[in-house]
Amino acid sequence: MTRVRSIKRSRLLSGTGRYALLVFFGLIFFVPVYYLLVGSLRPGDKVLGGLSALVPSDLSLDNYAGVFNRFSNDTTGYVWQFAGVSLAVTAMVVLGGLLVNSLAGYALARMKWRGRNIVLLLVTIMTIIPFEAVALPLYYMLSGQRNTLYVQALPFLANAFSIFLFYTYFLSIPVEVEEAATIDGAGPVRTLFQVVAPMSLPAYATVAILTFLGQWGQYLWPVLMITDTKLRPLPLELSVFQNAQPPEWGPVLAFGVLFVLPVLVVFLIFQRSFVASVASSGVKG
């Protein structure tokens, strides 16, 4: 009974109209994805064939073989190399970011120290400064560190917005839980990681997902800092590849699939928790 009513209440449209809209938007979101997948499996000259490019015919893995053949020596770099750079940098940023930002969020939410309020205010202000605005001075300051792996990760470890997400989440946890741990003699670091963190998985998941997606697609910073083929992350190499003359669309799309497929698969598996954690972060702030 309640369920029937809740279904009725949540929709402004009747069933058929609703399905029509769902199909319409579903196609809009899905067709480009499908186009990428099918195009990556078809001969390069048929990728740009108007609507016929959507017909899954002449499928083969030639484009994928083409990608691996093309990137097979030290001048062009190797596919596994680009992927390795992206993976290493992203792992550093996600794991390091979870650690330092949650520590800071906890210190701000639960501990009393001189200057805490000023730091909180400064962190708040820093959430407004987009990285893009400081990219150029950073590029100038760090020009001696160009073409290194760590310089791709370091500027993104600490993130004011992540600190804030942790801060607000930790505030919402009842303080009594930690009091027991404190009475047992646990220090704040132990309390954070043994008591608070396990209760704050949605916050950790949200920060991890948002950081991962942002970092996996990071383009501006590598453009400025990386010229060495060996250290190019995937997005940078993809843009170099797509601008090669003449463009080889088949292999370019295959490269794109290699770039996004791992993420897409992980996303499909964890979709439910992904959506739940992002949604809760928005509601909580």
- Applying the rule CB under 8 A, the residues between 99 and 118 that interact with other proteins are 99-101, 103-104, 106-108, 110-116
Interaction of residue 124 with other proteins, rule CB under 8 A = yes
Of 1-9, 56-64, 70-78, 87-95, the window that binds other proteins (rule: CB under 8 A) is 1-9
Q: Cα dihedral sign for 47, 49, 50, 55?
A: negative
Check binding of 186 to other proteins (CB under 8 A): no
Question: Given the rule CB under 8 A, which of 25-33, 66-74, 76-84, 87-95 is the region that contacts other proteins?
Answer: 25-33
Q: Which stretch binds other proteins (CB under 8 A): 58-66, 74-82, 87-95, 271-279?
A: 271-279
Rounded to whole angstroms, the Cα distance separating 203 from 166 reads 6
Q: Which is nearer to other proteins, 65 or 175 (CB)?
A: 175
Q: Output phi, psi for 114, to 5 deg.
A: -60, 130
Residue 149 is a binding residue for other proteins (CB under 8 A): no
State both tokens at 205. 């998941």
Classify residue 246 by its DSSP letter: S
Pick one of 16, 73, 133, 198: the residue that binds other proteins (CB under 8 A): 133
Q: Are 211 and 97 in contact (CB under 8 A)?
A: yes
Name which position in 79, 164, 232, 248 contacts other proteins (CB under 8 A): 164
Asked if 41 touches other proteins (CB under 8 A), the answer is no
Q: In terms of CB distance, is 77 or 256 closer to other proteins?
A: 256
Within the chain, residue ranges assigned H as helices are 2-10, 15-40, 62-70, 79-110, 116-126, 131-141, 150-157, 160-171, 176-183, 188-190, 197-199, 201-216, 220-225, 234-242, 249-269, 271-284
248 contributes a contact to other proteins by CB under 8 A: no
Smallest distance, other proteins to C-beta of residue 211, A: 13
- Residue 59 or 264: the one with the smaller Cβ distance to other proteins is 264
Does 20 engage in binding with other proteins (CB under 8 A)?
no
DSSP SS3 for 159: coil
**Residues between 81 and 100 with contacts to other proteins, criterion CB under 8 A:** 99-100
> Rounded to the nearest whole angstrom, what is the least distance from the CB of residue 122 to other proteins in the complex?
8
Q: Nearest approach, Cβ of 51 to other proteins (angstroms)?
A: 5
Q: By CB neighbour count within 10 A (0-12 exposed, 13-18 middle, 19+ buried), where does 90 fall? A: buried
CA distance linking residue 281 with residue 146, whole number of Å: 35
